[in-house]
Structure 1
Amino acid sequence: MIAAIKTEHARKIVLKEVPAPHLVEGEVLIKVEYCGVCGSDLHAYTHAKGYEFVEKPIILGHEISGIVVDCYDSSLERLNGKNVVVESMHYCNECSNCRDGRFSICEKNQVIGLHFNGGMAQFVKTKAEFVRVIPEGFSLRTAALSEPMSIAVHAVKKAGEIKENQVVLVQGPGIIGFFVGLVCIKKGAKVFISGLEQDDKNRLSQAPVFGMIPQRADRDLLDQKVDTMFECSGSGAAVKTGISSLKKGGKAVFVALYEQPVSLFLTDLVRNEWPIITSYGCDPSDYSSAFEILKEYEKQIETIISYYPLSEINQAFQDSFKQEVLKPVLVIDEAEGGIDCEFE
C-alpha cells in the first residue's frame, strides 16, 4: 500500500510503498477514504514539546473514515463492507477510569496515529472494538469529522449545562473551536468566537455561517461578560484575557494543549469562584451526538473544509500550519487507479 510516513526529520513526510497491515486476533482492515489533519498531527509534524512520545517513522492520522475490507475471522464478519470511523482513543476497558466510564483519561490510553500507525495511508488496521459503523445516509466525507466533533461534544459536556441565551466565548477559531461553538449554538447559547485579526480571512469570516459572532481579540472588546469560556487556542496570552472575560461564578473550560507553561493569579479565580475545568479527548458515547450534529449542519460544514489528495500531504500540512485553511482533509484515493505520486 501507499502510506505517508512521518520521518525522523521535523516537518518532513514522505510517500512510500509499504506492506499492508497484517491482522491479528480481534482486528479489522479498513480501506481509508478520508483522513483529517488534526492539530496533534501538526505538533507531531513539527516535533513540538509534549509530543516526544511519538516514535518515528510513523504513519500519522486519527480522523479516519473508510470501508472495512477484511476481518481476522468470521466472528467479525458483521463489519465487512461497512462504512466506518475509528475511535481515536484506544482505551484499556480495565482501569478504574474506564470502569467509571471516563475512557478519555484511561490509564493506558493510546491514540491511533500517534502511539502507533494511523490512517494517512490506503489501509489501516484497528481493533474491532474501536470501530463505529456510520449511520445510514451519512457520507464518508462528513464522517471523517466525527472525531473532532466528538471532542467538542465532550468539552461542552464537561462544562455542565449550557442554557438557552447564556453567553459563551470560544477562544481559537480552529476546527475544535468552531465545533465547540456549534454545539453551544445548538443548545441555544449566544456564542462569540475569538481569534487574531490575521485569522479573519480564512477563519473568523466563516463564523456567521454557523450563527456565531466573530471577535478579533487584538482589536475588538467584548461588550459583556460571559457565562462560559472555552479556551481552544493554546495561547498563554489568550488564557489570561479569557479568564478576565468571565462573569463572577462563570466557568473556564480548557480544551487546547499548550507548548509553554501558563501562569495565573489564583487569587482572582478564588475571589470570583471561577472553576477551572479541563477536557481531554472524547468518550465512545460522544460519537453518537457528533454524528447527529454533523448531519444537521453538513452543508455549512462543507464550506470550511479543504480537501487534498494524499500526494499533496506536505502542502496540506504547510497550509494548515500557516493557518491558510481552516480544516484540511486528505482524500486517500481520488481515482480508481490509485494515487499518482513519486516515491522516495
Structure 2
Amino acid sequence: MLAAVKTTTYREINTQEWDMPKLEEGEVLIKVDYCGVCGSDLHAYNHASSYHFVDLPRVLGHEISGRVIDVVDERDQQLLNKHVFVESIQYCGNCSNCLEGKTNICLHFNVIGLHYDGGMAQYVKCKSHFVQEAPSNVDSSVLSLVEPMAIAIHAVETISNVKKGHKVLVQGAGIIGFFVAITCKELGAEVVISGLQEDKDTRLFHTENFGITSYINSELNTLSQDMDVVFECSGSTRALVEGFSLLKKGGDAVWVALYEQDIELPLALIVRNEWTIYPSYGCVPTDYKRALEIIEKYTNQLDSIVTYYPFEKAHLAFEDALKKKVLKPILTF
C-alpha cells in the first residue's frame, strides 16, 4: 500500500510503499477515506522536543475516517462495510484513571499515529473497541473532524465551567480554537476568538460563518478585562501569559494547546485574583457523541473551513498548515 511517512528528523514527509497492516486478535482493517492534519502531527513533523518519543519511521495521523473492510473476531462482523471514525487516545481500561472514566490520561495510553502507525495511509488497523460507527446522516467528508471537535467538547463541557451569558475569549485561530469557540457559543456564551495578523485573511474571516466575533491580538486591549473564561488554544506561551490580563478576578484559564517550551507564570497575581487553571488534554469516549451532534448541525459551514489534499501531496498540506495558509487541511485517499 501507499502511505505518507515521516522517515527522518528533518521537516519532511514522503509518500512511499509501506507494508500492509497485519491484523491481530481484536483488530479491524479500515480503508481510509480521510485523515486530518492535527497540531500534534505538525509538532511531530517538526520533530519538536516534546515529540521525540515518536519512533521513526512513522505513519502519522489520528483524525481518521473510513470504512471497515476486514475483521478478525466474530463479534466485530457488524462493523464490516460500515463507515467509522477512530478514537485517537487508546487506553488500557484497567488503570486507576481509566476506572474513574479519565481514559484520556490513562497511565498506559497510546495515540494512534504517534506511538504506532496511523491513518495517513491507504489502510490502517485498529482495535475494534476504539472504532465508532458513524451515523448515516453525517457525511463521510467531515467525519475526520469528529476527533478535534471531541477535544473541544472535553475542554468546554467536561473540564471548564462555561455557562450561558459568560464572556469567553478563545486564543488561537486553529481548528481547536474554532471548535472551542463554536462549543461555547452552543452553550449560550458571548464568545470572541483571537489570532495573529497573518490569520486575519486566511483563517479568522471564517468566524463570520459561525456568528463569532474575531480580533487580532493587537486589538485585544480594546476588550474589557472581565472575561469569565479564557481558553488558550494557540500553543503560544506569550498568549498564555497575556490571557491573564483579560481574565476577571475569580475567572478560569483553560489550557488546551501543547507547548514547546516552559515559562514563568505570574504566581502572585494568580493567587491574589483566585484564578483557576484547568489543563485539558484530549477527550474521552463520551465526548465523541456530543461532537457528532455539533458536526451534524454545522456540516455546511464546516465544509468552508476545510482544504482537501490528495495524500500524495501530504508535504504540501503540512507546509500550508505550518504557514497558516489554511485552517484545516485534510488528506483524501
1:178-236 Cα distance to aligned partner (Å, 9 max, x none): 00000000001111101111110111111121111111112342422210000001111
Shift of 1:159: 3.9
Is 1:190 matched with 2:190? yes
Check conservation: 2:91, 2:98, Cα contact below 8 A: yes
| Distance (Å, rounded) in 1 between the aligned partners of 2:182 and 2:263 | 27
| Distance (Å, rounded) in 1 between the aligned partners of 2:158 and 2:267 | 21
Equivalent position of 1:177 in the other structure: 177
Equivalent position of 1:322 in the other structure: 323
Equivalent position of 1:144 in the other structure: 144
| Distance (Å, rounded) in 2 between the aligned partners of 1:52 and 1:279 | 21
Shift of 1:147: 0.4
| Distance (Å, rounded) in 2 between the aligned partners of 1:73 and 1:163 | 44
Equivalent position of 2:79 in the other structure: 79
The one-letter amino acid of 2:79's match is L
| Distance (Å, rounded) in 1 between the aligned partners of 2:136 and 2:20 | 29
Equivalent position of 1:292 in the other structure: 293
Q: Does 148-157 or 219-228 show the bigger shift? A: 219-228
Is 1:33 matched with 2:33? yes
1:208-219 map, 5 Å:
208-219=208-219
Equivalent position of 1:301 in the other structure: 302
Check conservation: 2:195, 2:215, Cα contact below 8 A: yes
Check conservation: 1:159, 1:251, Cα contact below 8 A: no
1:171-250 map, 5 Å:
171-224=171-224, 225-250=226-251
Partner-residue secondary structure (3-state), 1:29: strand
- The alpha-carbon distance between structure 1 residues 10 and 168, as it changes in their structure 2 partners (threshold 3 A), is same
1:43-62 map, 5 Å:
43-62=43-62
Superposed CA RMSD in Å reads: 1.0
Check conservation: 1:103, 1:283, Cα contact below 8 A: yes
1:21-42 Cα distance to aligned partner (Å, 9 max, x none): 0000000000000000000001
Check conservation: 1:197, 1:219, Cα contact below 8 A: no
Check conservation: 2:162, 2:189, Cα contact below 8 A: yes
The one-letter amino acid of 1:121's match is A
How many residues are treated as equivalent by the alignment? 332
Equivalent position of 1:21 in the other structure: 21
- The alpha-carbon distance between structure 1 residues 236 and 33, as it changes in their structure 2 partners (threshold 3 A), is same
Structure 2 unaligned regions, length at least 5: none
Equivalent position of 1:311 in the other structure: 312
- The alpha-carbon distance between structure 1 residues 160 and 13, as it changes in their structure 2 partners (threshold 3 A), is closer
1:55-107 Cα distance to aligned partner (Å, 9 max, x none): 00010000000000000132211111110001000000000000000010000
Could you tell me the TM-score, scaled by structure 1's length? 0.95
Equivalent position of 2:97 in the other structure: 97
1:264-285 Cα distance to aligned partner (Å, 9 max, x none): 1111011111011000000000
Partner-residue secondary structure (3-state), 1:329: strand
Equivalent position of 2:134 in the other structure: 134
Equivalent position of 1:336 in the other structure: none
Structure 1 unaligned regions, length at least 5: 333-344
Check conservation: 1:28, 1:128, Cα contact below 8 A: yes
| Distance (Å, rounded) in 2 between the aligned partners of 1:194 and 1:184 | 15
The one-letter amino acid of 2:319's match is Q
Equivalent position of 1:342 in the other structure: none
| Distance (Å, rounded) in 2 between the aligned partners of 1:237 and 1:9 | 27
* Structure with greater helix percent: 2
Check conservation: 1:158, 1:277, Cα contact below 8 A: no
| Distance (Å, rounded) in 2 between the aligned partners of 1:219 and 1:226 | 15
Identity %: 51
| Distance (Å, rounded) in 1 between the aligned partners of 2:9 and 2:266 | 39
| Distance (Å, rounded) in 1 between the aligned partners of 2:160 and 2:39 | 25
Q: Does 136-145 or 83-92 show the bigger shift? A: 136-145
